[in-house]
Structure 1
C-alpha cells in the first residue's frame, strides 16, 4: 500500500505503529457498492423518528408490570389522576421533599400521624378511608380495606359498574 505523507515516518514506536496499521489495512476488502447510512433500530435499516422515539421511551419512561387501563365512562381527568398516582408521581409531601422543595414536615396535614405519600393519601389515612367508604356506598359497592393500588385495581377490575 502506498501512502503519501507530508513527512517520512520516523523510526521506533512510530514505525512499529505504521507497520501494524498497514498490515491491518491490507486485510480490509472494500465493496464496490455505494456507501449508505444504516439504522440498526429498524428491520429495514432505514432511519425513522418513530423507531428512535420508541427506543428513547423504552429507556426513559417508567414501566409497570400492569398495563394502564382507561375506564371510558370515568372522566379523563380521573383516569389521568389514577395513571399518575400508581407510579407515585403525585405531589405528595414526601415527593415534594424528595424533589428538593423545602417544607416544614412530610407528615399528612390532615392526620399528622404518617408521612404523606401516595399510599397514605389513598389507603392509610382515616379521611381517605372514609371517602372511599362513602364512594362505595354511593355506587352501591362493597367497601374493602385496600392497602395498595394493585389490591384496589384487582378489586376494581372485578366489579361491574352500571353505565348511566
Structure 2
C-alpha cells in the first residue's frame, strides 16, 4: 500500500494519511480524532522541526479524560523520532523493499488482503431472515457488543464476567462455545437433530458445523439454519439478562429455537412435508 514519507509536511494530512506507522492516526487514535473540529490538518501545521532534536505538537492536554490522555501519550511517543526537514514530501510503496511501485508487488498485496479477509466470509443460509445471517456474520468476525469488545473500544463496563456463568470474561468465543449455558444448548441440539457430540472451541467451529455432521441436501441446509438460529437465540437470551434481568433456562431457549426453525423453514420450503414428532421437533421426510 502507499504511505507518505515526510519532508516538510506541507502536503500530508496529519490525521488522515498513513505517514507514521502502518495506520492513519484517525484509526490508531479514534478518540482524539473525534474531539477535533478541524480534522483535515497538515503535518506541518502540527509539527515543527527543532534543531535540538525534539518535536513539538500543538495540542492542549488540560482537562482531558484518562482515555484521551492515554491516547495522547502514545501518540506523542510515536512522534518522538519524527523530524520535519527542508525537502518535499513524497509517496512510497510500502510493500516493496525498494519503495518503488510495481505490478507484481501490487498483485502480491491484493492476494494477501484477499486471504486475510477470509475470516469475514459466511455461507449464507437462505431460509432464515437476513438479520440472523448478518448477526452470525458479525459474530464470526467478533464484531458484536460483548463486554470484551466494548472494552477494546474504551467503553468501560462495571462487570467483565460472562452474564451466564459470571466467571470467565465475556468474549464471543466463550459466550457461544465455552459457557455452560451455551453448551447446554448444543447438547439439546445434538439430541434433537440426532447428531454426534459437538466439539466446538470457537464460533467459527459452530458456523461450519453443518459441513461436518454428515447431512446432505436439504437436511444440511436445514441444520445450517438451526445452528444460526441457535446463535441468534443465545445472543437474545444474553441481552434479556443484561437489559431486562430476565433469566431464561436452556429449555426455554431451545423452545424458541425449535419454534423459529419450524416457522421459518415451513414458510420457505412449503412444498416439503414436515412432521412434528415429540421432542425431536422438526423431522424432514
- Alpha-carbon contact 1:137-1:143 (below 8 Å) kept: no
* Structure number with bigger Rg: 1
| Aligned counterpart in structure 2 of residue 67 of structure 1, from 95, 115, 121 | 121
| Residue of structure 2 equivalent to 1:13 | none
The alpha carbon displacement at 1:139 in A equals 3.1
Q: Distance in 2 between matches of 1:66 and 1:87?
A: 6
Q: How does 1:15-164 map to 2 (within 5 A)?
A: 63-65=117-119, 67-159=121-213, 160=215, 161=219, 162=222, 164=266
User: 1:105 aligns to what SS in structure 2?
Assistant: coil
Please state which structure has a larger fraction of its residues in strand. Answer: 2
The alpha carbon displacement at 1:66 in A equals 6.6
Unaligned runs of 5+ in 1: 1-54
Q: Distance in 2 between matches of 1:79 and 1:86?
A: 11
- Structure with higher RCO (Cα < 8 A, 6+ apart): 2
- Alpha-carbon contact 2:119-2:141 (below 8 Å) kept: no
| Residue of structure 2 equivalent to 1:33 | none
The number of equivalent residue pairs is 106
The alpha carbon displacement at 1:65 in A equals 4.5
The alpha carbon displacement at 1:78 in A equals 1.9
- 1:112/1:156 Cα in 2 relative to 1: closer, same or farther (>3 Å)? same
- Alpha-carbon contact 1:123-1:146 (below 8 Å) kept: yes
| Residue of structure 2 equivalent to 1:18 | none
The alpha carbon displacement at 1:81 in A equals 1.2
